[in-house]
Structure 1
Amino acid sequence: MTEHTPIGLGHEAAPVRALTHSGNFHADETLGYVILHYALAPRGDLRARVLGAQPDDRLTFVRSRVPGQIQAADIVFDVGGVYDPAAGRYDHHMKKKPLREDGTPYSAAGLLWKDYGLAAIRNILDEPVEEGMEAAIWQAVDKALIIPVDQDDNGVAKMGRLSLAEIVSTCGAPWDTAERYGVEEAGKREMSAFADAAAIVGRYLVGVVDRARASLKATDRVLGAYEQAEDKRILVLETGMPAEKVIFERDLPVVYVVSPAGGGQWNVKAVPPARGEFGQRVPLPEAWGGLEGRALAEVSGIADTVFAHPARFICGAASREGALAMARRALEIAAS
């Protein structure tokens, strides 16, 4: 699984600073953080650490894109443009990204699972298991959870939605709880499990209601922006919001969506051929894929370009004007 000693596992008392990017988050880096939590500091508070409310914890966790903070961190994942596990760097967005033996691209979670998964399993289990069982558990979790996250995050295959019923069921105590802890303790654990499940379901319901509200608001905003668009193939949104649903429900001929991405940056996202699918109606230019900064600026002819994803579904510039110029240039190249 790993041929080096991952940072933090060789000296269990030493403090570790972990960092992933700020802004929108996905299952990839969320799961990556959870893996590090259980591998390095399972007695810490998973939620309080994220909120900065646990100053004495061994593991410090930061979400940032500031270069100085990235450089200062011991473990950096899903950002930074470097995969060097011996140095604690676990990004996977490079043009030559790390691959599994079968060619499946790793996500940051997959790379962290490779190095920290066994340690996480040992800390999650509350008692030792038979020889070989840890590795078997690692493989089972890798197949059931980690690989699907790898595939989804890299645009290989969508993970799909986990049912709420399965999530609630997983919160429950396993079948041998009474055998291991006694009937009285099993009853307590059952009540605790129900409380955990109720908290998840309650938060889920609140989120569904609020996201429905936001979706209706986004529909009005997207349609308004479309009406004002000079080129109906380019939709410019002054605030980041979901637009794909409206584009396909209203059969809009939008090819690229231009919107702010935080920190002054603006992104261009290619619309897929069908809602929820990978791929693009018009991919970004092949020559742009995987380039950043000056290299991308030279190829594209646009001065303030920031990046273009290797899969060519998203790119960005340091300004609204730069992003809009990238969208227009991409359409010109596609038509040539």
Structure 2
Amino acid sequence: MSEHAPIGLEKEARTVRALTHSGNFHADETLGYAILHYALSPKGSLGGRVLGEDADDRLQFVRTRSPERIAEADIVFDVGGIFDPSLGRYDHHMKDKPLRDDGTPYSAAGLLWKDYGHAAIRNIVTTPVTEEMVVAIWQSLDKSLIIPVDQDDNGVAKMGKLSLADIVSACSPAWDTAELYGAQEAKKREALGFANAATVVASHLVNMVDRVRASLKAANRVVEAYEAAEDKRILVMETGMPTEKVIFERDLPVVYVVSPAGPEQWNVKAIPPVRGDFGQRVSLPEAWGGLEKTALATVSGVPDAVFAHPARFICGAGSRDGAITMARLALEIDAALKSKAG
């Protein structure tokens, strides 16, 4: 959280002039621009502002290396040689560059995220959220999105092919654009490329914020369902949602998750021994594998049984009660087999 009042987030809504460098662009300044967009003027035109097509906007944005323009701007990021948030300066290319507590160098995006990320999240989220949720979303995206950009931009670790950094780079005009079309056209294509990259990055940021919000909401529901479960090995969810993350993070002894798969089907999904791995903590009964409907109902004794995957990691029934019964039977059969083997 910022230790000062970031420029533009004061109570008075004044025009804010933001600036980054012209020329080659990367993920950190395009993401930094997207953060400022959502924090200060989310109703403005993200692309139009870059192309000079949206003059009536609280956030004014320019890409230049002009010392005079840099001096005049309210917020300068990824250029200027100064890091002083109280003055709206967010460069990170100095010898004495700003570092995270663990020594990781910040990029311009990381520095702006620290000051403007919470405000951006509040404007991105379209459903009511608490300040605690905003902080949790900020922390999650800082780890999953911002730090990788910091590392890539500072040469600590590459994000890799088809990463956000790679997609941003692909928006840049080809090296011979000026040679083929002239300097003026190359300048236009560079501006358009930045606008396109910023739009892609902004969409990714919005989607990640919403997915983290939903993930946190799911975590609360998973915990509630687990606490209410009669048999802690069977987690019954009344709505389909991600559950594995919470199960492994909290080391819950869940073996099967029962949840609706449509208006007329409930599934039983086996939890793997390691998150994201193949295999199951307890596989579904061998006799069920690959069977459907009548054949499965006959073998399992569950009248509305629908299917059991040949790999025995998922099965389904026509009702909530039927699915829960299948989960209980699977545990009983497994226990009987282990007792016999022992």
Q: TM-score, normalized by length of structure 2?
A: 0.49
- Which structure has more relative contact order (CA 8 Å, sep 6+)? It is 2
Whose radius of gyration is greater, 1 or 2? 2
